[in-house]
Amino acid sequence: MPRKVNYGLDYDDDYDDDNDYDDYDIDYDVEDNAFSVVTGNLHKPNQEATRSGIWRCSICTYDNDQSMTACDICGVLRNPLPSSGISNGNDLKTAPFKFDVPSPDDIVTNGLRSSKMGPKGTSSSYHEGGVEYTLPMDEIKPRSLAYSLDSASINDRGGYSNSYGTGKAASQGQYKPEKWMLHEAEDGLLSQLNLAIVGHVDSGKSTLSGRLLHLLGQISQKDMHKHEKEAKLQGKGSFAYAWALDESPEERERGITMTVAVAYFDTKRYRVVVLDSPGHKDFVPNMISGATQADAALLVIDASNGSFEAGMDGSKGQTKEHAQLIRSFGVDQLIVAVNKMDVVQYSKDRFDLIKQQLGTFLRSSGFRDSSVLWIPLSAMENQNLVTAPSDIRLLSWYKGPYLLDAIDSLQPPTRNVSKPLVMPICDVIKSPSMGQVSACGKLEAGALRSGVKVLVMPSGDVGTVRSLERDTRPCAIARAGDNVAVVLQGIDTSHVISGGVLCHPDFPITIAKHLELKVLVLDGASPILIGSQLEFHIHHAKEVARVEKMVSLFDPKTGKVMKKAPRCLLAKQSAVIEVVLQGPVCAEEFSSCKALGRVSLRALGRTLAVGIVTRVIEKEPIAFFKSKYFVFFSK
């Protein structure tokens, strides 16, 4: 099929999209009156003069001459008769219209534009994957207003690349989610809960998760036997359950978890996604990556004598650091599982001691007493996990819920399904054989379905969702809060990176190097000076950052500025600082997107400060990345 221009072999879809936007620009300049579209005046033959004299058939993508009313090759009519009413491009395309090809037809572009630039809810243009989809047209009034607002923002667009950028500010408020996105509580689907399991090294996190999975039937007896046999062979018999989650030979050999393992199980109320984090000090960056996805957390404590104290140690133990980090991720519901109670003979005194000491610390970190649950249990002996305890020593003094009950009693978090799509990419799995790449992560806002087009940041490329997978099983729709693997196609595999973000093509997120942060310096941290080089963690991305300027110190309780331009930041102080990163990251102000606005600063193996992004000082233009993409052999 002849194509207008050949930029690259694989990027047809992307290219066509760009062409789409270019068309809109031209049209807009010619047509001033936004409202004329709304009133149903779709047919504007004079606009075609601005076209280059050919139109592309929507079915076979053949370039036809202007004079033809039907495609030369496939015979499909150029302008199928419009059904009644309003300029929804949707109605016009009763023939399966794949929106991934441009339609030089200006009726269509008009219709498309009004529906595309109006409230997104009525537009289904790019969400179709060949499936016919109509929505009730009941939003004329808001649309016209929205459209004029949007037109204002469209005016700013220089080239197509900016179309991704500036449309956002005005249209953020006008994003209307589609019906399929909001469809919840259908056919008995349990709501999803992301549970991060954190704690000091060797507290029994992986073993606990493995046990739970086994007891709830997620791991078959055969698999469990296999793990046990292999573990005994390597001399690590006690790690048999942990091996269900630690799958790589490195992890098994050393008996530790190195990266976050994801597993799924169901309780009465929730589909729980277990994020088993490493407890080792060196792997805290990996734990951060996992814990950003969490809705609630399970802090595992080793009750045995000496281990608890070691965990609580400020500089060497991870219990405190993990607790502070998850609090900074916005998790306010915590279950503290005091593990290895069998080693201390289920002693109530020990439990009370731990509860008291850790409780004061958690309170000072910001956890409310009412949202912290304390569960004594033993993973090795299967006490108090999925049923009430059977051991009399524990039964004698403990009358509270068992672990599964406690998980069920957690409050479901609010999901931003009605906001535009935001999905930070945690992992990227490439399958070169199929020419596709899958991005794994948790949807923070919005929803996804196969056939939908997504914008991959920071590269700025647009890809199509081929399929979605949850727990290695394909699923049809993923909504905010779901942890899925998205198989993408039509995109360069090297552009999808861990630390990137998938978002809605019309609502791109900002990429920046220069940020203003509001941070709280944790106690035990070394002082932070101007020019200090720190590691900057935001959702799944990490970069080297330099403290550029320290704006002010303020009192966290009152919010008043205590001192301007401090010399250095000491432990327990709150301050506003500016950092410059070595490479750009996807970041958003905390007020507009929580998931992309939380940061942590680390250095020398310790977390020095946690905070939020208050302002993006200098945005990186997406066009920068796009231009790289269009240059041949640049990569």
Partner 1 sequence: MRIVRKDYVRNGPGSVKMVPVDSDDLWFAYNLIAPGDSVMAATVRKVLREAASGGRDAERIKLKLEITVEAVDYDKVGSVLRIRGKNILENEYVKMGAFHTLELELNRPFVLRKKVWDSLALDVLHQASDPGASADLAVILMQEGLAHIFLIGRSMTTTRSRIETSIPRKHGPAIAGYETALKKFFENVLQAFLKHVDFNVVRCAVIASPGFTKDQFHKHLLLEAERRQLRPIIENKSRIMLVHTSSGYKHSLREVLDAPNVMNMIKDTKAAQEVRALKDFFDMLSNDPARACYGPKHVEVAHDRMAVQTLLITDDLFRNADVEMRQKYVNLVNSVKDSGGTAHIFSSMHVSGEQLAQLTGIAAILRFPLPDLEDIEM
Which of residues 429, 434, 476, 561 is near partner 1 by CB under 8 A? 429
Contact (Cβ atoms closer than 8 angstroms) between residue 616 and residue 510? yes
Q: What is the b/e burial string over 612-622, where b = at least 16 CB atoms within 10 angstroms of the residue's CB?
A: bbbebeeebeb
Sequence-distant (≥ 6) Cβ neighbours of residue 374 within 8 angstroms: 336, 338, 351, 355, 400
User: Scanning residues 321 to 360, which ones bind partner 1 (CB under 8 A)?
Assistant: none
Contact (Cβ atoms closer than 8 angstroms) between residue 457 and residue 507? no
Stretch that binds partner 1, among 158-166, 298-306, 340-348, 425-433 (CB under 8 A): 425-433
Stretch that binds partner 1, among 3-11, 99-107, 329-337, 597-605 (CB under 8 A): 597-605
Least separation, in Å, of the C-beta of 14 and partner 1? 21
Residue 382 gets the label, from left (phi > 0), alpha (psi -120 to 50) or beta, of left
Contact (Cβ atoms closer than 8 angstroms) between residue 464 and residue 518? no
Least separation, in Å, of the C-beta of 371 and partner 1? 31
Told to check if 250 binds partner 1 by CB under 8 A, we report: yes
Least separation, in Å, of the C-beta of 554 and partner 1? 17
Which of residues 1, 9, 392, 604 is near partner 1 by CB under 8 A? 604
Q: How far is residue 406 CA from its own chain's centroid?
A: 26
User: Scanning residues 71 to 100, which ones bind partner 1 (CB under 8 A)?
Assistant: none
Told to check if 567 binds partner 1 by CB under 8 A, we report: yes
Handedness of CA 324, 329, 333, 336 (dihedral sign): negative
Stretch that binds partner 1, among 215-223, 281-289, 383-391, 553-561 (CB under 8 A): 281-289
Stretch that binds partner 1, among 57-65, 293-301, 447-455, 562-570 (CB under 8 A): 562-570
Which of residues 137, 215, 258, 580 is near partner 1 by CB under 8 A? 258
Least separation, in Å, of the C-beta of 530 and partner 1? 7
User: Scanning residues 431 to 450, which ones bind partner 1 (CB under 8 A)?
Assistant: 440
- Residue 48 to residues 41, 107, 109, 612, Cα–Cα distance (Å): 15, 9, 11, 50
Site string for partner 1, 480-499 (x = CB under 8 A): -----------------xx-
Contact (Cβ atoms closer than 8 angstroms) between residue 314 and residue 526? no
Backbone angles phi, psi at 386, to 5 degrees: -110, -10
Told to check if 33 binds partner 1 by CB under 8 A, we report: no
Query: How many helices (H) and strands (E) would you count in the chain?
Result: 18, 27
Told to check if 254 binds partner 1 by CB under 8 A, we report: yes
Structure tokens, 3: 């194509």
Told to check if 259 binds partner 1 by CB under 8 A, we report: yes
Q: Are strands 568-569 and 511-521 parallel, antiparallel or unpaired?
A: unpaired
Told to check if 30 binds partner 1 by CB under 8 A, we report: no
Stretch that binds partner 1, among 82-90, 168-176, 253-261, 302-310 (CB under 8 A): 253-261
Told to check if 430 binds partner 1 by CB under 8 A, we report: yes
Told to check if 526 binds partner 1 by CB under 8 A, we report: yes
Contact (Cβ atoms closer than 8 angstroms) between residue 447 and residue 478? yes
User: Scanning residues 535 to 554, which ones bind partner 1 (CB under 8 A)?
Assistant: 535, 544, 546
Q: Which amino acid is at 448?
A: L
Q: Which amino acid is at 250?
A: E
Three-class secondary structure of residue 121 per DSSP: helix
Contact (Cβ atoms closer than 8 angstroms) between residue 210 and residue 257? no
Least separation, in Å, of the C-beta of 468 and partner 1? 16
User: Please, what is the Cα angle at 12 between 503 and 48, to 5 degrees?
Assistant: 95
CA distance 632 to 635: 8
Stretch that binds partner 1, among 90-98, 299-307, 327-335, 601-609 (CB under 8 A): 601-609
Least separation, in Å, of the C-beta of 481 and partner 1? 20
Told to check if 218 binds partner 1 by CB under 8 A, we report: no
Told to check if 477 binds partner 1 by CB under 8 A, we report: no
Contact (Cβ atoms closer than 8 angstroms) between residue 432 and residue 482? no
Which of residues 44, 269, 280, 470 is near partner 1 by CB under 8 A? 280
Structure tokens, 223: 């698999």
Can you give the binding site for partner 1, defined by CB under 8 A? 247-248, 250, 254, 258-259, 261-262, 280, 282-283, 285, 426-430, 440, 472, 497-498, 526-527, 529-533, 535, 544, 546, 565, 567-568, 570, 602-606
